[in-house]
Amino acid sequence: MSLSRILVVDDEPQIQRFLKPALTAAGYDVIEAGTGAEALRAVATRAPDLVILDLGLPDMDGKEVIANLRGWSDLPVIILSARDRETEKIAALDLGADDYVEKPFGIGELTARIRTALRHRNKADAIPTLIETDGLTIDPVHRLVSRNGETLHLTPKEYDLLLLLARHAGRVVTHRTLLTSVWGPAHADDLQYLRVFIGQLRQKIEKNPTDPRIVRTEPGVGYRMVME
């Protein structure tokens, strides 16, 4: 069985010195790049399975790398950056990044995010039959949702919202992406509108809506569906 190849894009030598042995010990084949241009060349020529990308590169902003990459590749990208501003996270995710991990970070958290992103990529081309998590079952073919065998009655918008989160399970989906995808561009900034619908959805699908296990909040950024 071939190892998944991870491209680490970071110009800090200490990060490279830490990540390469740590990810190799976790069972990955690791290649490295120190600039955005090197990263794009490596994606084109070395065929990695996932990219770990710093936003602060010497030749271009990491968001430019994502925008360029998304023009021709759906390769999973995990941002690894010391920039902790919500606007930076949102911009990177809206451009097509799959996840965001802040420095300093734990290798356990990072490898967990890697596994999730790789699983999502492996399932991306499959036609979903049933999506199941924590007693909840989503049937995309028949547009049915049930919990423990009991049919749940969702409005069309609640269902569309749930299905969008399910299709990106394990990934952060930003407020703007959810609003524009479900309600259209005119509602891109209607954050309170989205919160109301998320609250209604949780009342129907969660065992304990006040402590949600399925649809988790990423504060200031968006929501993530957790598959357990």
Residue at token pair 């199941």: 132
Q: Is 90 exceeded by the pLDDT of residue 216?
A: yes
Q: What is the pLDDT of residue 126?
A: 53
What element of type H or E holds 132?
A: strand 131-133
Rounded to whole angstroms, the Cα distance separating 100 from 55 reads 11
Percent of the chain at pLDDT > 70 equals 94
CATH of domain 131-225: 1.10.10.10
Rounded to whole angstroms, the Cα distance separating 98 from 173 reads 9
pLDDT digits (tens, 9 = 90+) for 159-198: 999 999 988 888 888 998 899 889 888 888 899 989 999 9
Q: Are 61 and 35 in contact (CB under 8 A)?
A: no
pTM beyond cutoff 0.75: no
Fold of 5-123: Rossmann fold (3.40.50)
Q: What is the pLDDT of residue 195?
A: 94
Kindly report the number of other CB atoms within 10 A of residue 81's CB atom.
20
Is 131-225 in the same CATH topology as 5-123?
no
**C-alpha pair distances (Å), 27 with each of 19, 32, 63, 115, 129:** 12, 16, 28, 11, 31
Mean pLDDT of the chain: 89
Rounded to whole angstroms, the Cα distance separating 214 from 212 reads 6
Mean pLDDT of 95-115: 89
Domain residue limits, the chain: 5-123, 131-225
